[in-house]
Amino acid sequence: NQPDQYVVIGNPIAHSKSPRIHARFAAETAQRLNYSTLLAPLDGFVATAEAFRAAGGRGANVTVPFKLEAFAYSTRLTARAQAAGAVNTLMFDGADIIGDNTDGLGLVNDIVRNAGIPLQAKRILLLGAGGAARGALLPLLEQQPAQLIIANRTLSKAQQLAQAARAEFPDLVVAACTFETVPADCAFDVIINATSASLQDAVPPLPDYVWQARPLAYDMMYGATPTAFLQVAAQHAAQCRDGLGMLVEQAAAAYALWRGVQPATGPVLHELRMEMQAAEGR
């Protein structure tokens, strides 16, 4: 009998690291499966996913720009997917299309387990109010931080997220502001960049005092060289971490959902980091 089939659907998709990550997980947990990339036309996500499902596909990861379409395509949603308003993981189970979102859990697992920084009772500054920030919100609040401030260029979007968060967690302190108006008295333990500013080599215009308590600076973006945000953070003596661990951890959470086993993430994370640095040096 054939191994179970999984894919990551996106556009573009050729450079995805997910097939490598899942092949390592499969080897490590001794599971027989195939995981490959699947390019969907920009107007053809559902047709592509349906053809894969009809051919016996068991599950799929979904990446840019299809996470909202995957949300609409799902017949059942996990609480995480519902809160995120987007789906990055699909599981095909008979007639059911189960949609989950493991991005936020990946972020939290990378900070708490891999970096060894508990978030309980911590003061968190979350930068951005787009899809990545929204996906991170519920998993962050589940850690029971002392305070979570959402700062965004467009204030109304941060306010909407903060309002939804307060409705879900009325006991926690959640507030919204712009980058320039982050409160001065917060002594942040963790600052998470969930904006796409790093893609444009830009840095959200934060006041210097946000760095006072030497927080962990986490950029969801990753690459061989530190992002502009992490360069600024390093100038302020912050501890720096990029989003490569988040990528590996969101994959591990998807793998656990599909296969019922939790793979080790340390070896593949180390391997990807070495490879990225070697490619940069060439």
Residue 10 assigned ligand-binding role: no
Residue 266 assigned ligand-binding role: no
Rounded to the nearest whole angstrom, what is the least distance from the CB of residue 200 to ligand NDP in the complex? 5
Q: Does 221 bind ligand NDP (CB under 6 A)?
A: yes
Q: Does 151 bind ligand NDP (CB under 6 A)?
A: no
Q: Is the dihedral of CA 242, 248, 251, 252 positive or negative?
A: negative
Q: Does 232 bind ligand NDP (CB under 6 A)?
A: no
User: In this chain, which stretch among 17-25, 46-54, 152-160, 267-275 interacts with ligand NDP, using CB under 6 A?
Assistant: 152-160
Residue 17 assigned ligand-binding role: yes
Q: Which residues are catalytic?
A: 67
User: In this chain, which stretch among 30-38, 114-122, 160-168, 219-227 interacts with ligand NDP, using CB under 6 A?
Assistant: 219-227
Return the SS3 of 163.
helix
DSSP string, 62-125: E-TT-HHHHHHH-SEE-HHHHHHT--SEEEEETTEEEEE--HHHHHHHIIIIIS----TT-EEE
The residue within the footprint of ligand NDP, chosen from 19, 130, 223, 226 (CB under 6 A), is: 130
Q: Where are the alpha helices (DSSP H) in 195-265?
A: 228-235, 244-259
In the chain, the amino acid numbered 42 is L
Rounded to the nearest whole angstrom, what is the least distance from the CB of residue 106 to ligand NDP in the complex? 6
DSSP structural state of residue 200: G
The token pair at 237 is 């003596």
The residue within the footprint of ligand NDP, chosen from 200, 260, 279, 282 (CB under 6 A), is: 200
| Interior angle at CA 36, CA 31 and CA 40, nearest 5 | 145
Q: Is the dihedral of CA 52, 53, 59, 60 positive or negative?
A: positive
Residue 38 assigned ligand-binding role: no
The residue within the footprint of ligand NDP, chosen from 125, 220, 232, 272 (CB under 6 A), is: 220
- Residue ranges for the binding site for shikimate? 16-18, 63, 88, 103, 222, 250
**Binding stretches for ligand NDP (CB under 6 A):** 103, 128-133, 152-154, 157, 194-200, 202, 204, 220-222, 243, 246-247, 250
